Structures are given as C-alpha cells and as structure tokens.
Amino acid sequence: MNNLRIAPALKEVAAVFNHAGKEVYLVGGAVRDLMLGRSSADWDLATNARPEEVMRFFKRVIPTGIKHGTVTIRHKGSSIEVTTFRTESEYSDSRRPDEIQYAAAIEEDLSRRDFTMNAAAVKLPEGKLIDPYNGQQDIRRRLIRCVGKAEERFAEDGLRPMRAVRLAAQLGFDLEEETLSAIPGALSSTAKVAAERIRDELDKTIASDSPQTGLVIMEQTGLLQMILPELETCRGIEQKGYHRYDVLDHSLLSCAYAAKKGFSQEVRMAALFHDLGKPLVRTLGEDETWTFYNHEKKSVPLAEGIMRRFRYPNAVTEKVLRLIAAHMFRYEETWKDNAIRRFIIRTGEDLLPELFNLRMADTAGTAGIDPDPAALLPFKKRIETVLAKSSALSLKDLAVNGNDLMAIGVKPGKYVGIVLKELLETVVDDPRLNNRKKLLHIAETINRERYE
C-alpha cells in the first residue's frame, strides 16, 4: 500500500461525510505538502455534498464563502475549509460566472486547478492519492507545470503567473518550459487582476526562503517590468567601487540575505527597495566612479508609490519607508554621546534592531559575501551605554506637549510630531533648554520658518 498518512482529526471529519454517503478529499496545498513529505496544518477539503448539507452534518460550521460553495468546519481547534466539487474557476477579470457550476466527480474539480502539484487529491479517510496530472512526478522533478495548456490557463486567470512565481520561491522549484514561456503572452490578463491579489502573491514571494528565485523569474518573463517597473529600471545601473553588482542584482542579493537570515518582512522589503532612487541621482564623479548622493531620499517616494499601489497596510508601509530613509547611517567612534542620542531620536529607538539587520543585508548585497556580524558591535554597544545612562530621551520628558504647540499655532496633524521631535533633538543637545518658555519660543521659530 502506498497510501499517505492522514491526521486522525481529518479521519474523524471524513467519517461524518462517509456516514452520510458522501465522498470527501483533501485537496490543494496540503496534498502538495504530503507529496513533499511535509505536514500541513492548513486543510482544504472537496466533497460532492452541497454546502447546505455540510452545514447540517456538523455542529460548528461557518458559511465563509457560500457563493463559491465553501464553508468552514471548526473541529478540535482547527478550521477546515470544505468546498463542493466545482467546474468553473473564478476568473480574476470580473467575468465571474453568476452561478457556481457544481461538478459530479473529483476528477472534474481537479481539472479546473492551476498546477499539476495543486491538482491532486487524497481520498479520505483511506489516504489514496488521486493524481490525474502526475503532480507527484513533477514534484520529484521540482517543476511547476500548468494543468492543460499553459497559455489558456494563464489567459483565463492572470493571477496564475504570480502564483507560479510564488510557488517557485517557496519551494525552490523551476517553471516547466511551456509554463515559463507562456507568461510573457499572458501579461495583459495579469494586468487586469486586482492589486490586492497580486500583493498577496508578491508578499508570499518576499516572505519565502528564496525571494530572489521568484523575482528573477519575474524579470525574465516581463512581470517585473509590469508590476515593479521602479525595480526593473535598476537593471544595468552599474556602481563599481565597493560594489560588485548593478543596482538590481544588489537589491536582489540584499533581499535574499534578509530572507536567509529570517529577517522581518519589512526589512526584506526595505532591502529590495532601498536603492530605487539610485538611477535618478547617479553622477560620474571626478575620479571616474559613480556617485549616488542622497539616493535614499529619492528611494522613499518610489517605494511609497509601490506600496500604496498594492494597498499595503499603512503600518507596514511606514516602517519600510523609515528603514529606507535611515539606511545610509554611518557611525564614527569620535561621536560624542549627544550625537548618539540625536541619532537614536531621529531614527526611533524601536527601529534600530531592524535598521541594523537592513545594514547587514545591504552589506551582503554589496560584496556578495556574508558580512561580519561584529562590524556593527561598537555602534550597538555605544547605543546601549547611552540608552542606559540617559533618561530624557522620549517626548514625554519634554517640558511642552502637542497641545502647547497647537496653542501657539502649529498645524494639528503630523507637524506637531515633527516639531516635537526637533525640540527633543534640541534638548538632547542642550538639556538646559528643557523649559517651557524657552521651548515654546524655539517652537514658534521652527514653525514660522518651515511649516506655516
């Protein structure tokens, strides 16, 4: 017998279906994981029972996607999505079928799925693999291959090329030749897909162990040019000097290192976008080398444009932009404590660990070898020492607050924060100025000069 190992909780759920005379199969990513020899906690089931029947079979069922024929069973702490066999896929260009077409058999349901490795099912409870498109063989060969004709499947749903990219990054697989070469012809259907759906795949690509694998396929097929033209423009921007790579390869390598080290999603994104401004500011210096003065200031709005376009949550966008804006920091041992304090305030204490991770990634992408983690130690130690001895480092220690500033005419909103931060920097430089009257006077000057 070469049946797959099925979790007991799934067998219990399957018994309920079978008792009612219905078939039920494990499908989707969990089957892919089983074939890869991995376990999965995310279970999708397919059945010939109708959603309203499934709702009667179980006590705790939520009609999560009833118009797609999907309900969610809560069983012993896990959520199990159950979808009735369907024939139609959902098209992403709004040619959505008005009514779902239910299919009679699992084979028909599998034929609408995207890739061979995603189009296998495991019959429950016994664990028999149903694999009409030889998904298992493609997994062995480490290939992502469309079910049926790639051109047609991509034209039908333009999200699929991005799903292929994401799976390649997650699994470290290649795209089978026909699947790969069908992507350039499918760009116009990908262009119609909702930004959020593209973002989810891009996000999973960047969150994977090997984002560069996906991004390289994107470049090769024209997806990068369409989805992230700001990044594609960095191809061929040579840097020389310390750098071994052009700006695009440098960005990919930085992001790859951040992923390899398990750094946060924000650091990975900042690593990918931190040099977007370089093509805009590149100048040939007197010694015949390229310079990129102030490129980080140009990178910020470009990265912001990308992240707004794909509707990233504001908190994520803000952190990525702060990291990019701060990435050119430098430290010298001759710095006085005040200079260290100013740096901490300007950057934000909360951002420092990730900013240092970004620096590691940036360095890795410059030389092409892993950086020495000890390089940042002297700076980190100084920061720790300064933080340990200084108390007046936060806004709440200032002799004035936001209301005081608005009372003297600072516009409510982000300006209040900006002026407060400037006051804090002033006080750090000279603690004697931390007095209400003096600070209000300084605030008035700042406000008059810059923000009125």
Q: Which residues bind Mg ion (CB under 5 A)?
A: 28-29
- Helix intervals (H) in 175-242: 177-181, 187-190, 195-207, 211-221, 223-227, 229-232
Are 360 and 250 within 8 A, CB to CB?
Answer: no
Q: Please, which residue, 28 or 279, has the CB nearer to ligand ATP? A: 28
Going from the C-alpha of 357 to that of each of 108, 270, 279, 344, the distances in angstroms are 48, 10, 24, 16
Q: What x/- string results for residues 385 through 424 when contact with ligand ATP is judged by CB under 6 A?
A: ----------------------------------------
Q: Please, which residue, 131 or 249, has the CB nearer to Mg ion? A: 131
Instruction: State how far the Cα of 424 lies from the Cα of 434, in Å rounded to an integer.
Output: 9
Of 118, 208, 213, 221, the residue at the interface with ligand ATP (CB under 6 A) is: 118
Task: Label residue 429 exposed, middle or buried (CB < 10 Å: 0-12, 13-18, 19+).
Answer: middle
Residue 28 makes contact with ligand ATP by CB under 6 A? yes
Angle between helices 352-367 and 314-326 (to 10 degrees): 60
Q: Please, which residue, 29 or 132, has the CB nearer to Mg ion? A: 29
Instruction: State how far the Cα of 233 lies from the Cα of 298, in Å rounded to an integer.
Output: 14
**Region of residue 22 (phi > 0: left; psi between -120 and 50: alpha; otherwise: beta):** beta
Task: Report 76-105 residues binding ligand ATP (CB under 6 A).
Answer: 89
Which of ligand ATP, Mg ion, none lies near 118, with the C-beta cut-off 5 to 8 A by kind? Answer: ligand ATP
Q: How far is the CB of 163 from Mg ion (least distance, A)?
A: 11
Instruction: State how far the Cα of 298 lies from the Cα of 304, in Å rounded to an integer.
Output: 10
Are 443 and 400 within 8 A, CB to CB?
Answer: yes
Bridge partners for 46 per DSSP: 25, 83
Which of Mg ion, ligand ATP, none lies near 69, with the C-beta cut-off 5 to 8 A by kind? Answer: none
Q: Please, which residue, 29 or 222, has the CB nearer to Mg ion? A: 29
Q: How far is the CB of 428 from Mg ion (least distance, A)?
A: 50
Residue 123 makes contact with ligand ATP by CB under 6 A? no
Task: Label residue 271 exposed, middle or buried (CB < 10 Å: 0-12, 13-18, 19+).
Answer: buried
Which of ligand ATP, Mg ion, none lies near 89, with the C-beta cut-off 5 to 8 A by kind? Answer: ligand ATP
Of 24, 35, 44, 383, the residue at the interface with ligand ATP (CB under 6 A) is: 44
Positions of E strands within 13-52? 24-27, 43-47
Q: Please, which residue, 157 or 296, has the CB nearer to ligand ATP? A: 157
Q: Please, which residue, 13 or 340, has the CB nearer to Mg ion? A: 13
Residue 113 makes contact with ligand ATP by CB under 6 A? yes
Which of Mg ion, ligand ATP, none lies near 303, with the C-beta cut-off 5 to 8 A by kind? Answer: none
Q: Give the pair of three-digit tokens for residue 223.
A: 């997806």
Find the part of the chain contacting ligand ATP (CB under 6 A) among 72-80, 113-121, 306-314, 364-372: 113-121
Task: Report 433-452 residues binding ligand ATP (CB under 6 A).
Answer: none
Of the candidates 329, 268, 320, the residue with the CA atom closest to the CA atom of residue 299: 320
Residue 160 makes contact with ligand ATP by CB under 6 A? yes
Count the helix, strand and coil residues of the chain and give each as a percent rounded to the nearest 5. 55, 10, 35
Residue 199 makes contact with ligand ATP by CB under 6 A? no
Which of Mg ion, ligand ATP, none lies near 79, with the C-beta cut-off 5 to 8 A by kind? Answer: none
Find the part of the chain contacting ligand ATP (CB under 6 A) among 15-23, 110-118, 137-145, 261-269: 110-118
Residue 109 makes contact with ligand ATP by CB under 6 A? no
Total binding residues for ligand ATP by CB under 6 A? Answer: 12
Of 157, 176, 201, 296, the residue at the interface with ligand ATP (CB under 6 A) is: 157
Q: How far is the CB of 42 from Mg ion (least distance, A)?
A: 5
Residue 42 makes contact with ligand ATP by CB under 6 A? yes
Going from the C-alpha of 366 to that of each of 244, 249, 353, 430, the distances in angstroms are 6, 9, 20, 38
Task: Please provide the size of the chain in residues.
Answer: 452
Q: Please report which helix (H) or strand (E) contains residue 407, including its range.
A: helix 402-407
Q: Please, which residue, 21 or 37, has the CB nearer to Mg ion? A: 37
**Residue in this structure with the two tokens 């000057």, named with its chain if needed:** 445
Of the candidates 70, 143, 123, 18, the residue with the CA atom closest to the CA atom of residue 131: 123
Q: Please, which residue, 160 or 327, has the CB nearer to ligand ATP? A: 160
Of 80, 82, 159, 428, the residue at the interface with ligand ATP (CB under 6 A) is: 159
Please identify the residue of the shown chain whose CB is closest to the bound ligand ATP: 29
Binding site for ligand ATP (CB under 6 A): 28-29, 42, 44, 89, 113-114, 118, 157, 159-160, 163
